[in-house]
């Protein structure tokens, strides 16, 4: 399954929502890489087991299920989470790109690739539709958490 969508971060037509800078947005994405617990309900532990200049290897624990993933990134541009396939987890990747279609208009593009089939005609395909909906809601929540981090003043 391939699934892609946008989440608007800075909406110039909505003055009620404060704008985030690219730096605040990037810092929030790095927070998700370092400790995903505020971003992923049900995640019990997130441990970085390897670290490089532009990548991390993490172990994520959801109850008894352990998922290992690699996080690679291009600072201020994009971040990719690549999870290994196991008996308990389908594996796949999520790439989050920071896009700026116009000055100060920031959006995040979320691109998912999993081993789930795309066809809605099969039971797995129907499940994929549910997964897409859950991913979309999770991504909206990601921006909400990043806003909370920015408002807390953690980046200055």
What is the reported pLDDT for 34?
96
Q: Where are the alpha helices (DSSP H) in the chain?
A: 22-34, 123-151
Query: What's the helix, strand, coil split of the chain in %, to 5?
Result: 25, 40, 35
* Domains of the chain as residue ranges with CATH: 2-26+71-151 (3.30.530.20)
* Residues in Cβ contact with 60 at an 8 Å cutoff, skipping those fewer than 6 apart: 36, 40, 43, 45, 46, 66, 67, 68, 69
Q: What is the pLDDT of residues 9-59, one digit of tens each?
A: 998 888 888 899 999 999 999 999 999 999 999 999 999 999 999 999 999
Nearest to 92 by CA among 133, 129, 49, 131: 131
The pLDDT of residue 4: 95
Average pLDDT, stretch 91-102? 95
Tell me the pTM: 0.91
């Amino acid at each position: 399954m391939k699934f892609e969508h946008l989440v608007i971060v800075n909406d110039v037509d909505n003055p009620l929502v404060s704008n985030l800078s690219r730096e605040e947005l990037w810092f929030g994405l790095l927070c998700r890489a370092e400790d995903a617990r505020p971003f992923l309900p049900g995640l019990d532990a997130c441990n970085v087991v390897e670290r490089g200049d532009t990548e991390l290897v993490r172990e994520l624990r959801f109850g008894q299920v352990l998922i290992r993933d690699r996080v690679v990134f291009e600072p201020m541009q994009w971040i990719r989470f690549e999870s290994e396939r196991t008996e308990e987890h389908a594996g796949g990747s999520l790439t989050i790109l920071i896009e700026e279609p116009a000055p100060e208009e920031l959006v995040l593009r979320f691109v998912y690739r999993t081993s789930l089939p795309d066809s809605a005609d099969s039971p797995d395909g129907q499940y994929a539709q549910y997964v897409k909906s859950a991913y979309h809601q999770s991504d909206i929540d990601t921006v909400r958490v990043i806003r909370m981090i920015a408002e807390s003043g953690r980046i200055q």
